[in-house]
Structure 1
Amino acid sequence: MDTNTLQAFIAVAESRSFSKAADHLYLTQSAISKRIALLEDQLSSKLFDRIGRTVSLTEAGAALLPRAKDILLQLDDAKRAIGNLNAGDVIGGLSLAASHHISLHRLPPYLKQFSHECPKVELDLQFAESEVAYEGVLKGDFELALITLSPAPDPSIHSDLIWDDLLMYVVAKDHPLAQAEKIKLEELTHYNAILPGSNTFTRSLVETLFFQHALTLNVTMSTNYLDTIRMMVNIGLGWSLLPQSLVGDDLKTLNVIDSEPVHRNLGIIYHKNRTLSNAANHLVQMLKSQR
Structure 2
Amino acid sequence: MDTANLAAFLAVAATGSFSRAAEQLHLTQPAISKRIATLEQQLGVRLFDRIGKHVGLTEAGRTLQPRAELIINTFNDTRRALGNLSASIQGRLSLATSHHIGLHRLPPVLRRFTKAYPGVVLDIDFLDSEVAYDKVLQGEIELAVITLAPQVEPPLIATRIWLDQLEFVVAPEHPLAGRQEVQLSQLAAYPAVFPGGNTFTHNVVAQLFERHGVSPQVSMSTNYMETIKMMVSIGLAWSVLPRTMIDSQVRVLPVPDARLVRDLGCIHHSGRTLSNAGRALIELLHTERESDTVT
Whether TM exceeds 0.5 here: the answer is yes
Between stretches 96-105 and 242-251, larger displacement belongs to 242-251
Aligned in 2, Cα 1:252/1:59: closer, same or farther, shift over 3 Å?
A: same
Q: Is the 1:184–1:258 contact (alpha carbons within 8 Å) kept by the matching residues of 2?
A: no
Give me the TM-score of the superposition, normalised by structure 1. 0.92
Q: Is the 1:185–1:258 contact (alpha carbons within 8 Å) kept by the matching residues of 2?
A: no
The amino acid across from 1:53 in the alignment is: K
Q: Is the 1:194–1:221 contact (alpha carbons within 8 Å) kept by the matching residues of 2?
A: yes
What SS does structure 2 have at the residue aligned with 1:119? coil
Rounded Cα–Cα distance in structure 1 between residues aligned with 2:175 and 2:81:
59
Please show how residues 120-199 of structure 1 align to structure 2 within 5 Å.
120-199=119-198
Post-superposition Cα deviations, 1:164-200, rounded to whole Å, max 9, x if no partner, equal: 0011111122211124321221111110112212222
Specify the alignment match of 2:286 in structure 1: 288
Aligned in 2, Cα 1:31/1:126: closer, same or farther, shift over 3 Å?
A: closer
Aligned in 2, Cα 1:289/1:26: closer, same or farther, shift over 3 Å?
A: closer
Aligned in 2, Cα 1:34/1:115: closer, same or farther, shift over 3 Å?
A: closer
Specify the alignment match of 1:275 in structure 2: 273
Give me the TM-score of the superposition, normalised by structure 2. 0.91
Between stretches 187-196 and 161-170, larger displacement belongs to 187-196
What SS does structure 2 have at the residue aligned with 1:181? coil
Q: Is the 2:178–2:253 contact (alpha carbons within 8 Å) kept by the matching residues of 1?
A: no
Q: Is the 1:48–1:58 contact (alpha carbons within 8 Å) kept by the matching residues of 2?
A: yes
Runs of 4+ in 1 over 4 A off after TM superposition: none
Specify the alignment match of 1:72 in structure 2: 72
The structural deviation recorded for 1:250 is 4.5
The structural deviation recorded for 1:201 is 1.4
What SS does structure 1 have at the residue aligned with 2:179? coil
Rounded Cα–Cα distance in structure 2 between residues aligned with 1:216 and 1:275:
45
Rounded Cα–Cα distance in structure 2 between residues aligned with 1:44 and 1:38:
10
The structural deviation recorded for 1:157 is 1.8
The amino acid across from 1:205 in the alignment is: V
Aligned in 2, Cα 1:119/1:22: closer, same or farther, shift over 3 Å?
A: closer
Specify the alignment match of 1:203 in structure 2: 202
Post-superposition Cα deviations, 1:194-218, rounded to whole Å, max 9, x if no partner, equal: 2212222111211122122222221
The structural deviation recorded for 1:154 is 4.9
Q: Is the 1:95–1:142 contact (alpha carbons within 8 Å) kept by the matching residues of 2?
A: yes
Q: Is the 1:130–1:148 contact (alpha carbons within 8 Å) kept by the matching residues of 2?
A: yes
Structure 1 spans left out of the alignment, 5+ residues: none
The amino acid across from 1:263 in the alignment is: V
RMSD over aligned Cα, in angstroms? 1.8
Q: Is the 1:6–1:68 contact (alpha carbons within 8 Å) kept by the matching residues of 2?
A: yes
Rounded Cα–Cα distance in structure 2 between residues aligned with 1:288 and 1:51:
51
1:101 aligns with 2:100: yes
1:85 aligns with 2:85: yes
Rounded Cα–Cα distance in structure 1 between residues aligned with 2:58 and 2:236:
49
Rounded Cα–Cα distance in structure 2 between residues aligned with 1:99 and 1:19:
27
Please show how residues 254-265 of structure 1 align to structure 2 within 5 Å.
254-259=253-258, 261-265=259-263
Specify the alignment match of 1:18 in structure 2: 18
